[in-house]
Amino acid sequence: MSVTEINICKTIARFGILAFFCFGILARCASVGTPQGGPRDSLPPKVVMMTPAFGTTNFKDKRITIQFNEYVQLKDQQKEFFTSPFMKKKPTLMLRGRGIQIDLKEDLDSNQTYSLNFGKSVVDNNEGNPYTGLRYVFSTGDHIDSLLMSGYTTDAMTTDTVGNVYILFYDAKTDSIPQYDSTLLKSKPIAVGKSFPNGIFIAENLKPIDYRIYALEDNNGNLEYEPGVDRVAFLDSTYNPLNQPGFDIWYDTTRRYMQADPQVMMRMFMDKPFRRQTYTGSKRTHGNRIVLTFTAPHPDIKELSFEGIDPGKIVTEYGNSKRDTMELWFDSRSEDLPDTLRGKLIYMKHDSLFRLQPDTQLLKLGWRAPVEKRKEEKKKKEDDLPEPNPFKVRVAGGTTLNPEKNIVFEFDYPLTGVDSAAMSLLKLGEGDQTTPVGLTFRQDTLKLRKWTLAAPWEADQKYRLLIPAGVFKNTNGESNDTLRSEFTIESPEKYATLVLNIQGKTPESEYVVQVISPQGSVLKEVAHLKTGSHTLQYIDVGTVKIRFIEDLNGNGRWDTGSLVERRQPERVGMYVDDNNSEEITTKENWELVFDVDMNRIFGPITMESMTAKINRDNEARLKAIAKKRAEDAANQKKQHNSGGGMGMGSMGGMGSMIGR
């Protein structure tokens, strides 16, 4: 496309927006009110006058008024209203008669085009119909900047749409990038746009210059970037609106806001925050359990000791995914520990200059058993009744087992001893015939109280698991009663099978495949896939999608980006069939074969590929709406019918392992 053609397309697009806007300004109503008994008012308010006029140049006023054809209200203005560029002191908005009064609270930059963007904050007084997309534009110079850019904001990991995101434009000449990018933290954008709820944005009133473009999800509403709180995105190159391809703009009558074909894609990610490392506190939640909390993950502990307690008797576990909380379990019964534990913690703490320095904290933690528990123990002792075994374990599963998931055990306390050789796993044959089966029992590397029992399972075979008393011993001095269970290995014929013939970008390229539900939950994940044929069994019957991660560093997981280091997040792509659909229908005993070309999935991002994705998402949205309406209609019919009953279920399998 030539420069002339690009300018023509942009001129048409620009006048399309202005024509739509001016239609709202010039329209009039003969009667403001609705006759009693008439139809409900569904029309938004209409602008009848702006003072100073829309598009004023050499602007020097401090007050702007916008008059409507009816009384209006302001709704969610803190969330909806913003200025381009941002102002340190946000203008104040007040209702005045049938209009809005806007007072500017700071001096304006010279030769700058400004826009006041109201979003959906202006609604009519009676029915709350919003005037979507109301803008007021003026310039402190002698002309209005008038170029446009469009784009699309998505989540880099899930590929889902991210709406209501600020698009920030910085002058590439003024805001050059040093070794580390601190643009969002130190500089002010010279133009701002915002994406609609469906992720599309149309940034207006841009200059014909090179921009560095960022996207910011302002979760705290302070118009400032906070790593670890706000998702962010950036484009690797600079972009001049004058040199971008032309695009179509139209009004979406369903969503009731403008839409456009996107020129760029902003892949939003959550950057890892930098936090000062500081000890924030401790608590003793049980007699033999202490929790230490810090402001940053992975505290560097130089010494941690308690009076009268052998350090080898302390089991350490991180209590959350952020790894800023340490759980200490003492290998001793609660009643054998003193009411007050005294200890010393030496760790590396950030000082005011962000330098790590040793810091010492003296610990003093008290604990007493709850009064009710002491009374119960005293009563049981007086009655001379045998106490139930307090040892607890939760076992995932039932009467059938998916062999790829194995058997997962979760304990209340960390284990200090496991006699796995005493466990017995038998494969049951005809009659009384049994065959011993070897098993492994491994601890999770992150969750120390989680263990997995695995074995060479055979489909459609029945097994018996016996765990004798005393096999498990925990830090509270407790041990298990005898646990036994019988279960059957599920047949792959009750599931679907996916065969992926992968053609990688290179023979060494690695990928992670995820089979996900239509709602986005991960049903199966397999890492380190390269060029070749790969079979995925035990796929749930129904509708699934296949998501791929371009695993550039080969660590078997998706890695987020870094704004400071200007490192983009690893790319994620969906398998799409020839009908531009992501959804795959699976049935029992079906084997589905897919040829997957990674050069296609992870090819260049173009307007065509973005438009195709937007169309897929829109079709899925409309399909979900139609399904919901059908379900609501069916439920309304059922409301006229009565009946039903209650049934009794049975318990068994691994989920309720019997101890005798």
DSSP letter (8 states) at residue 365: E
Sole residue written with tokens 């049980």:
286
Domain boundaries 279-371, corresponding CATH code: 2.60.40
C-alpha distances (whole Å) from 169 to each of 87, 119, 193, 361, 562 are 15, 19, 8, 47, 19
| C-alpha to C-alpha distance for 87 and 223, rounded to whole angstroms | 10
pLDDT at 559 over 60: yes
Q: 1 or 284: whose pLDDT is higher?
A: 284
Contacts of residue 208, defined as CB under 8 A and 6 or more positions apart, other chains included, come to 147, 240, 241, 242
Res. 368 pLDDT band, cuts 50 70 90: confident
Token duo for residue 441? 């029992």
Res. 398 pLDDT band, cuts 50 70 90: confident
The H-or-E segment that residue 609 falls in is helix 607-638
What does the pLDDT read at residue 649?
35
| C-alpha to C-alpha distance for 536 and 522, rounded to whole angstroms | 14
Residue extent(s) of CATH 2.60.40.1220 domains in the chain: 3-30+40-260
Q: Is 485 helix (H, G, I), strand (E, B) or coil?
A: strand
C-alpha distances (whole Å) from 554 to each of 507, 561, 604 are 13, 15, 21
The H-or-E segment that residue 183 falls in is helix 183-186
| C-alpha to C-alpha distance for 6 and 633, rounded to whole angstroms | 49
User: How many CB atoms are located within 10 Å of the residue 316 CB?
Assistant: 13
The H-or-E segment that residue 628 falls in is helix 607-638
Give the chain's mean pLDDT: 87
Residue extent(s) of CATH 2.60.40.1120 domains in the chain: 494-618
Q: Return the closest-CA partner of residue 584 out of 514, 485, 505, 479.
A: 514
- At residue 533's C-alpha, the angle toward residues 528 and 538, to 5°, is 80
Res. 382 pLDDT band, cuts 50 70 90: low
**Cα 289–chain centre separation:** 32
Whether residue 135 contacts residue 90, with contact meaning beta carbons closer than 8 Å, is answered with no
Q: Convert 510-520 to b/e letters by CB count within 10 Å (16 or more is b).
A: bbbbbbbeeee
Q: Which CATH architecture has domain 3-30+40-260?
A: Sandwich (2.60)
What does the pLDDT read at residue 298?
86
Q: Return the closest-CA partner of residue 484 out of 409, 417, 424.
A: 424
Token duo for residue 221? 């509403």
Q: 618 or 39: whose pLDDT is higher?
A: 618
Q: Return the closest-CA partner of residue 333 out of 286, 388, 381.
A: 286
**So what CATH class is 393-490?**
mainly beta
pLDDT in tens, 63-102: 999 999 999 999 999 999 999 999 999 999 999 999 999 9
Res. 640 pLDDT band, cuts 50 70 90: low
- Average of per-residue pLDDT across 121-140: 94
| C-alpha to C-alpha distance for 440 and 455, rounded to whole angstroms | 6
Q: What are phi and psi of 550, to 5 degrees?
A: -80, 95
Res. 31 pLDDT band, cuts 50 70 90: very low
Give the global pTM: 0.80
Q: 474 or 647: whose pLDDT is higher?
A: 474
C-alpha distances (whole Å) from 591 to each of 195, 341, 517, 543 are 41, 61, 18, 14
Q: Which CATH architecture has domain 494-618?
A: Sandwich (2.60)
| C-alpha to C-alpha distance for 23 and 28, rounded to whole angstroms | 10
pLDDT at 5 over 90: no
Whether residue 239 contacts residue 149, with contact meaning beta carbons closer than 8 Å, is answered with yes
What does the pLDDT read at residue 195?
97
Whether residue 221 contacts residue 79, with contact meaning beta carbons closer than 8 Å, is answered with yes
pLDDT at 11 over 50: no
What does the pLDDT read at residue 186?
86
Q: Are strands 496-503 and 591-597 parallel, antiparallel or unpaired?
A: parallel
pLDDT at 522 over 80: yes
**One-letter identity of residue 371:** V
Sole residue written with tokens 């880099």:
156
Q: Return the closest-CA partner of residue 79 out of 289, 285, 219.
A: 219
DSSP letter (8 states) at residue 386: P
Whether residue 151 contacts residue 167, with contact meaning beta carbons closer than 8 Å, is answered with yes
C-alpha distances (whole Å) from 450 to each of 283, 444, 519, 523 are 23, 6, 27, 20
Res. 627 pLDDT band, cuts 50 70 90: confident
What does the pLDDT read at residue 27?
35
| C-alpha to C-alpha distance for 78 and 66, rounded to whole angstroms | 18
Whether residue 492 contacts residue 535, with contact meaning beta carbons closer than 8 Å, is answered with no
Q: Provide, for the chain, the percentages of residues in helix, strand and coil under a 3-state DSSP scheme, each rounded to the nearest 5.
A: 15, 40, 45
**How big is the chain, counted in residues?**
660
Q: Is 430 helix (H, G, I), strand (E, B) or coil?
A: coil
DSSP letter (8 states) at residue 311: G
- Average of per-residue pLDDT across 107-122: 96
Q: Return the closest-CA partner of residue 94 out of 108, 85, 83, 81.
A: 81
pLDDT in tens, 576-603: 999 889 999 999 999 999 999 999 999 9
What does the pLDDT read at residue 655?
55
